[in-house]
């Protein structure tokens, strides 16, 4: 009986020790994916909160996750008691064990303020930062609709109102032609050293094939783009410069970009809000479709209760605001905005978040 108790205690200790040894690798497998998803979901909620807050005139605040400490504690004890017995007392053996497990994650947030806030969110995004995304496969019409206030003097719509709130018809005609050229493989974006500017990188739009094998549709779109932007047909490569207009004629494309706050404010103005919030003066009426738009860039719904499965959702006051999971166009546009914010924040963050997982 004593030998049996010892064996049982040994087995318990071995099992508990094995569990302690393998908790680290097993948690790493789960935590690497789970925390990556959690960070992504938190960023989506932060963006939607900023969009809805700006809709109501609230100044947004942004927090970056600088560190994550996922502290797991696993304690195990085991023991055995045996009594051979004497006289009328029977012999007995007793094996005991206990296990305790705890998880206490710690997150460190760093607010974005001062110069970092101005650089990431208030200053207009540089064309050299925005346009290369089109070379990565993002539709150029969606990219310019979100980020550009004007291209070649053609004004994008302004959801916040003003004399040019509807935008220039030529702007949306330009976006459609550029998208068709992109799909046909006749439009590329290149980043290289700017002409005559040592050490400075410029961004260039290359249109048309080197050989004369273009289709009639492609030829018509190339002619349309050159006409709208007053470009010379003697070249295929055009430098994109920041500004409402360019002193050079024929080989440059002036472009005025929006800031991150400008992008979020424009998206917020398109959000459908409860009529009661408009009637009590909490916000302005929702703007309608402007220019050549056929639908809002991102469709944000509002109501008392969101559906069970949504892409992203926040609560603001008595209402909930969400983006449907089955609305691919809104989700894709949301992802583009998230990527633009990541690029804008890249220069203001000294290092990426550190995930520390002590497991014992």
Adjacent-strand bridge partners of 191: 203
What is the pLDDT of the chain when averaged over all its residues? 82
d(CA 97, CA 83): 18
Percent of the chain surpassing pLDDT 90:
39
| pLDDT given at position 108 | 85
Q: Given a cut of 90, is residue 168 above it in pLDDT?
A: no
Residue 229 burial class via C-beta count within 10 angstroms: exposed 0-12, middle 13-18, buried 19 and up? buried
Q: For residue 2, give every residue at least 6 positions away whose Cβ sits within 8 Å of its Cβ, in sequence order, or none.
A: 82, 84, 93
pLDDT tens readout for residues 302-358? 999 999 899 999 999 889 999 999 999 999 999 999 999 999 988 665 555 666 656
Q: Quick: pLDDT tens for 39-52.
A: 889 999 999 999 99
pLDDT given for residue 254 in this prediction: 93
Global confidence as pTM: 0.79
Q: In 10 A of CB 293, how many CB atoms? A: 17
Q: Please, are residues 156 and 148 in contact by the beta-carbon 8 Å criterion?
A: yes
The angle subtended at Cα 261 by Cα 255 and Cα 263, nearest 5°, is 55
| φ, ψ (nearest 5 deg) of residue 278 | -75, -40
Of 4 and 147, the one with more pLDDT: 147
Q: How confident is the model at residue 359 (pLDDT cuts 50, 70, 90)?
A: low
Q: Which of 74-78, 91-95, 153-157, 224-228 has the highest mean pLDDT?
A: 224-228
| pLDDT 10s digits, 267-289 | 998 898 988 889 999 988 888 77
Would you say 109 and 28 are in contact if contact means Cβ atoms under 8 Å apart?
no
Rounded mean pLDDT, 3-18: 52
**pLDDT at position 208, please?**
80
**DSSP character string of 3-34:** HHHHHHHHHHHHHHHHHHHHHHHHHHHHHHHH
Distances in whole angstroms, Cα of residue 30 to Cα of each of 19, 24, 38, 103: 16, 10, 12, 14
Could you tell me which residue, 131 or 91, shows the higher pLDDT? 131
Residue 360: predicted pLDDT: 52
**Main-chain phi, psi angles of 260, to 5 degrees:** -60, -40
**pLDDT over 60 (residue 196):** no
Tokens of 209: 């094939």
Give the residue, 211 or 118, on which the prediction is more confident. 118
Q: What is the residue whose two structure tokens read 């583009």?
A: 336
Q: Which of 100, 93, 72 is nearest to 16 (CA)?
A: 100
The mean pLDDT value for 132-140 works out to 91
Tokens 């002590």: give the residue.
Answer: 358
Average pLDDT over residues 85-95: 63
């Amino acid at each position: 009986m004593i030998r049996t108790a010892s064996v049982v205690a040994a087995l318990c200790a071995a099992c508990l020790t094995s569990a302690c040894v393998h908790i680290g690798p097993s948690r790493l497998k789960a935590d690497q994916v789970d925390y990556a998803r959690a960070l992504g979901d938190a960023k989506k909620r932060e963006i939607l909160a900023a969009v809805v807050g700006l809709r109501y005139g609230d100044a947004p605040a942004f927090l970056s996750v600088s560190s994550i400490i996922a502290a797991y504690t696993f304690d195990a004890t085991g023991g055995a008691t045996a009594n051979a017995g004497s006289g009328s007392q029977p012999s007995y053996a007793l094996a005991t064990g206990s296990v305790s497990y705890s998880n206490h994650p710690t997150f460190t947030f760093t607010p974005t303020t001062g110069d970092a806030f101005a650089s990431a969110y208030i200053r207009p995004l540089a064309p050299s930062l925005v346009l290369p995304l089109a070379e990565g496969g993002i539709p150029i019409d969606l990219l310019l609709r979100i980020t550009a206030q004007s291209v070649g003097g053609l004004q994008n719509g302004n959801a916040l109102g003003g004399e040019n709130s509807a935008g220039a018809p030529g702007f949306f005609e330009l976006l459609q032609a550029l998208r068709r050229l992109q799909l046909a493989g006749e439009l590329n974006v290149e980043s290289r050293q700017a002409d005559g500017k040592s050490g400075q990188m410029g961004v260039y739009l290359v249109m048309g094939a080197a050989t004369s094998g273009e289709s009639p549709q492609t030829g018509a779109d190339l002619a349309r783009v050159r006409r709208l932007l007053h470009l010379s047909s003697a070249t295929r490569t055009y430098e994109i410069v920041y500004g409402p207009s360019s002193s050079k004629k024929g080989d440059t494309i002036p472009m005025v970009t929006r800031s991150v706050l400008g992008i979020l404010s424009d998206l917020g103005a398109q959000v459908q809000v409860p009529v009661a919030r408009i009637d009590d003066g909490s916000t302005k009426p929702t703007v309608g479709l402007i220019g050549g738009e056929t639908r809002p860039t991102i469709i944000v719904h509002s109501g008392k209760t969101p559906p069970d499965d949504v892409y992203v959702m926040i609560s603001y006051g008595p209402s909930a605001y969400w983006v449907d999971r089955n609305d691919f166009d809104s989700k894709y546009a949301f992802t583009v905005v998230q990527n633009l914010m990541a690029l804008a924040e890249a220069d203001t963050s000294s290092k990426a978040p550190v995930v520390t997982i002590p497991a014992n």
